[in-house]
Amino acid sequence: MAVCVAVIAKENYPLYIKTLPNENELKFHYTVHTSLDVIEERIHSVSKNTNDLRELYLGLLYPTEDYKVYGYVTNSRIKFIIVIESTNATIRDNEIRSMFRKLHNAYTDMVCNPFYTNGDIIEST
Amino acid sequence: MLSGLSCLLFRLENAFYELAQAYYHHESRVVKAHRDHLNKTTHALLFVRHQFKVAFYNELKQDSHTALKHYRQAYLHLHELRITDYNLLEIKTNSCIVNFKICKLCFEHNTPLDAISQFRRHVDIYKSKIGTADLAFEHSAWMSKQFAVFGDLFEEAIRAGLTAIQTQHPGFYYQEAARYAIARKQLCRGLCPAELKYPASDPLAEADKMEYYGQRPWRQGHQSLEAPSVQKEREGIQALQYRECQVDHSWLVIPLLSSAIAQFKKYKSPRMKRYLVVQMGEEYYHAKDYSKALALLGRVTWEYRSERWWSILTNILQLSLRCAYLVMSFEEYVTVSIELMGRYAQVPREEKIRIQMNLHKIFQDEVPEPEHGCEHDSVEKGRALWTTISAGGKSRSPIVVEMNSITAFVECKACFTADSFLCESPVTVKLGLHSFAPMPIRFSQLSVRFSNEAYNQFGIVVDENAVDDPIESTSYLKPGQTLWHTFQFIVEQDDVDCNLSIAGVDLVLGSLEGCCATLRWTDGGGDAIVHPFATQVHRKKVALNADFSVVSWDVLPSNYSTHISPREANLDVQLLQKGPALVNEFYLMTVSITNTEVAQISNVRTSISVVTAVADAVATAQPNTFLYEDIDLPCSQLISMPLLEELKPNQKVDNVAYVRCVDSGARLMCIQVSYQIPIDISGKMSMCNCMKEITSSIEVCEPFNITVSLTNMKFEKIEKVQLGEAFLSRMEVKCLSPWPVALQGSSLNLAKLVKFADEESLSQLTDVSLKQNDCAVEFRCLLSSGQTPSEIDIGSYSIEWRRVQNGAAVPFASTTVSLPTVEAEPIPLSLHVDMPAYGHMKAVLPLTYLLHNQTPFVQDMEIAMESSEAFMLSGHKQLFFRILPDSQHILRYNLFPLFPGYVTLPRLRVNMVRYSGVLDQLSSVVPTHIFIKPFEKKVSA
């Protein structure tokens, strides 16, 4: 299971960050924030090369000693980040992909809400 | 000599090299031979040792591939050993050395991936092998060392030419090393009690004289799985813990962090770098170097703020606040407090209240409460610093806090109530202050600064009430409430037609006499820094004149620039003209100005200019419209009318001007009238400049349509002219002007190769007057004088004219058209016929043909005169003759008409032997008919 899920706005500010309870939440904020470096670099290198459709799923961004950070960027540059413990070997790439897909669908549903203003912090109940 | 010496040296070197190699080879063979006698169950330790020895000899032999192979073997054997708490340190120490060798050789062989995977395996194997719980810090120290050493190896390889990528570079290893170093520090804190004493027996005395690496000095050479003496074991651990306590861990962490920062900077990871800077700041904080920590943290807050990561920002600010308290940095303390009380700081309300109380105390020259979580002795030092300052009775120097760069608890929005103000009405500025602080707060002064400093005096509000007095007044802000101030003033005449903007807003916290902080916004405050994105775009704009008290604070506009526009002019300006104008004429326009102001105006200046459309300006570089103040004066694109000293109310003046347009189409004229009028601005009379501008369009059309055609002498249209033959030019002038036009005359301006057929050619269109759609036609007889066949340019035709109604006041205008170019062709023979205009019945009609040879050769001619029923004729019926070059032959005939009326002449056939078909050309020139008058009828008496 993922230990942290984050939705980051186009301008790189956090829209939603959820971590496992009783974990050091701030540490995950830093982890998510630093992973934006890699995401930005990937987006830039792709947009420079071709006009082709970019794959939304970016895969493993970088491994740290304890966690694996996966990234996904929508066409409107909303970034989804999922952090998984390195020791957890049971999760495969497909499952990460499907997690992202579900997250994307949930985000799309949320944006469809007429009471939501684009760019606002997301509140989950 | 020298080369000989170096040659010798080289040979000597080779000889030594071979000797050395042979020696190392031999040594490794000895070790290998020894190894064959070994048995895996009893000599497991020796297996490692022998492999390492062989590898090392091979390395010395400079056979690094074989060396790597044996090192790997050694590593495998090491891994197979059984690990206990007592031999763990030895195994780890040895594996560390072997791993270092393997990684180093892999990098040297340019196989960095092998090095990385070896290192990963190494770390994964030993990560969980902590060993004795009391010495856990030793494991962290060892892990930290592994990462740091690998980072160094990696960096060395990069310096030797390896390229790293953003997600795989030495920075990550330094970062991990720092992380383990921090963990080591924490373990040391937990495991080593402060009151620990070094044991009297000194179990570490032998530590420097050990036979084998990684063994405990108090049980050297001991290989069993149990400790030889429990007492000695405990003392040894105690001694190690005591030593660990003496280590300054922060100075192990900080250099690792700074190496990592350098790497992340190099590999384009600004956020990771920032995170490490924060960690470094924290480490300085733990090392009690608070001012350095404060400086480091201050460097990164800006980015977290602009990216709106409030949780991280709050964390950094809280640490900064502690540092600021401990080193008594007044300015930092106030700035950080202001930000932590703000709405974006993720701090509980109680904490905010506490911060606000501390802030309040500072401005009362009292000592603030210490922050939580600080070291006890540091707090004492900090408190002492604060106390000396406040006890000294000296006020601190006032400080300025730049509010645009922080997210403060008080927000300010200043706005002009309109985008532009008329110079005679007062300028209104509305300024709102909104507090997000948990408690009410009082400011002692509010001042608005303008781009023109002269108005600053109008924007000051001072609150005389004591700071802790809860009376509501001009600067007493309650939480969540917006306080509105309105400022009004009249601008000076110098600022008319200029932009006026709010340069800044200053809010003073604390008493003006004592200790105070000025919160300074540049521009009109607002939320440009905090909400640079979405909020401003998506939300509806609030009108500037709306009632701000009912609008939510976040959507309030901030409009900190306005335009001071001049007073609206009250003049009636008209351009009187009767269009359309005609091309090239001097067209009369009248500018009529009527003063509809209530007062007398003075210094009335009028100017007329031609408005050039942008598209026209590009297409035609030449101006096509000229303005004249009077006909005699030179033209220009902009003319000024004479200055009018004064104009009474309802008085009217007319000015005339002329315009001449060189082509047709519409023209836009711009008339500007500027004047001064005395007006009353809040009881003071002052001269106010006003300006009125109108544009008016003039239609311009061509006066004539002139068509030109050429005919031969028989008035038949021709396409070509013949050299030396006369022809007619027909000019038809059709009047298009709606006004009657008088033609003064016309003239032909002939080109070089064309001349008039007669000596004198007078215009047939003198003093002719044409109405619309009237036509005038004239002919001119011309002769082409060229010698060679060519396209010839005839010249141009111009007519002088003016409107009938204008009379003699206006000079004649001239319209010119160019005549067509025609092809002129030579003819070998020209034929002229000389005969009377008409004949009489039964009276002799002489007919002379004159043939002229135009060629430079003798020509054989052949003519035949056909007979005609209408005439009797005498002369050559058929004749052969020759004409010399450029000479004539005359044929004379006498005709005797037999019928009256328009009768056909006998036809003359001319044939030139050399030029057949010349007759066709001639026939157009030769007359074919003549009118024969009948007999006079005698009127009988």
Tokens of B214: 């990684």
Confidence of residue B810 (pLDDT cuts 50, 70, 90): confident
Q: State the nearest Cα–Cα gap between A44 and chain B, in angstroms.
A: 12
Total count of residues recorded for chain A: 125
* Pair B430, B448: CB distance under 8 Å: no
pLDDT tens per residue across span B535-577:
444 455 667 767 777 777 777 777 778 888 887 888 888 888 7
Write out the E strands in B426-557: 427-435, 441-450, 460-462, 476-477, 482-489, 499-510, 516-522
> Which positions 158-187 of B are in contact with A (Cβ < 8 Å)?
166-167, 172, 176, 179
Describe the crossing of helices B88-108 and B44-60 by its angle, rounded to 10 degrees: 30
From the list A29, A34, A120, the residue facing B272 with the nearest CB is A34
Interface test with A, best of B144, B257, B265, B275 (most A CBs within 10 A): B275
Which residue did the predictor score with more confidence, B281 or B473? B281
Measured between beta carbons, the chain A residues lying within 8 angstroms of B172 are 62, 64
Residue A59 to residue A42: CA distance in whole angstroms: 11
Average pLDDT over chain B, rounded to an integer: 83
Q: What ipTM was assigned to the predicted interfaces of this complex?
A: 0.93
pLDDT of residue B536: 46
> Tens digit of pLDDT for each residue in B767-797?
888 888 888 888 888 887 766 767 888 888 8
* CB contact B269 to A (< 8 Å): yes
Which among B303, B306, B257 is positioned nearest to B279, based on CA atoms? B257
Read off φ and ψ for residue B500, nearest 5 degrees: -115, 135
Q: Do B167 and A61 touch (CB under 8 A)?
A: yes
Q: Is B302 on the interface with A (CB under 8 A)?
A: no
Report pLDDT for B529.
Answer: 53
Q: Which of B172, B269, B311 sits opposite A29 (nearest CB)?
A: B311
- Looking at every residue in chain A, the average pLDDT score rounds to 86
- Give ∠ CA B922-B923-B925 in degrees, rounded to 5: 70
Which chain A residue is nearest to residue B306, measuring alpha carbons? A13
pLDDT at A42 over 60: yes
Query: What are B693's two structure tokens?
Result: 């501008």
Distance, CA of B863 to CA of B913 (rounded, Å): 11
| Predicted pLDDT of residue B133 | 83
The confidence score (pLDDT) of residue B532 equals 47
So what's the pLDDT on residue B2? Answer: 60
| Stated length of chain B | 941
Section B140-169 average pLDDT: 92
- Specify the pairing of strand B929-933 against strand B838-840: parallel
Q: Do B307 and A11 touch (CB under 8 A)?
A: yes
Burial class (CB in 10 A: 0-12, 13-18, 19+), B926: middle
Condensed to tens digits (0 to 9), the pLDDT of residues B377-428 reads: 888 888 888 888 766 655 567 888 888 888 888 888 888 888 888 877 888 8
Percentage of chain B modeled with pLDDT above 90: 17
Asked if residue A64 has pLDDT above 80, the reply is: no
Q: List CB contacts (< 8 A) between B539 and chain A.
A: 117
Please tell me which residue of chain B has the smallest CA distance to A30: B275
CB B888 within 8 A of CB B852: yes
Mean pLDDT of B44-73: 90
For B2-48, the pLDDT digits (tens) are 678 889 999 999 999 999 999 999 998 888 888 777 777 777 788 88
Percent share of chain B, pLDDT over 70: 91
* The pair of three-digit structure tokens given for residue A13, joined into one six-digit string: 């500010």
8 Å CB contact of B532 and A41: no
Distance from CA of B252 to the nearest CA of A (A): 20
Give the pLDDT score at B530: 54
pLDDT tens readout for residues B306-346 = 888 989 999 999 999 999 998 888 888 999 999 899 888 88
What does the pLDDT average to over B422-442? 85
Chain segment B656-689, per-residue pLDDT in tens:
888 888 888 888 888 888 888 887 776 677 777 7
A-chain CB neighbours of B176 within 8 Å are 64-65
- Whether B308 sits inside 8 A of A64 (CB atoms) is no
pLDDT digits (tens, 9 = 90+) for B721-735: 877 777 888 888 888
Q: Find the CB nearest A26 among B272, B311, B538.
A: B311
Phi/psi of residue B189, each to 5°? -55, -40
Confidence at residue B255, expressed as pLDDT on a 0 to 100 scale: 93
Report CB contact under 8 Å: B167, A62: yes
- How far is the C-alpha of B886 from the C-alpha of B852, rounded, in Å? 7
Give the one of B275, B311, B539 whose C-beta lies nearest to A34's C-beta.
Answer: B275
Q: What is the pTM of this model?
A: 0.69
Write the pLDDT tens digit of every residue in B582-612.
Answer: 888 888 888 888 888 888 888 888 888 887 7
Return the CA Rg of chain A: 14
DSSP assignment of B709-770: EEE-TTS-B-SEEETT-EEEEEEEEEE--SS-EEEEEEEEEE-TTEEESSS----S-TTEEE
Please compute the mean of the pLDDT values over residues B44-55 and round it to a whole number. 87
Mean pLDDT (whole number) for A15-22: 86
- Position B533 scores a pLDDT of 45
Average the pLDDT over B830-856 and give the result. 84
Task: Walk across the sheet containing B720-722 and list its strands.
Answer: B720-722, B821-825, B790-793
Query: Taking 70 as the threshold, does the pLDDT of residue B75 lie above it?
Result: yes
Q: Which tokens belong to B484?
A: 């509105």
pLDDT of residue B538: 45
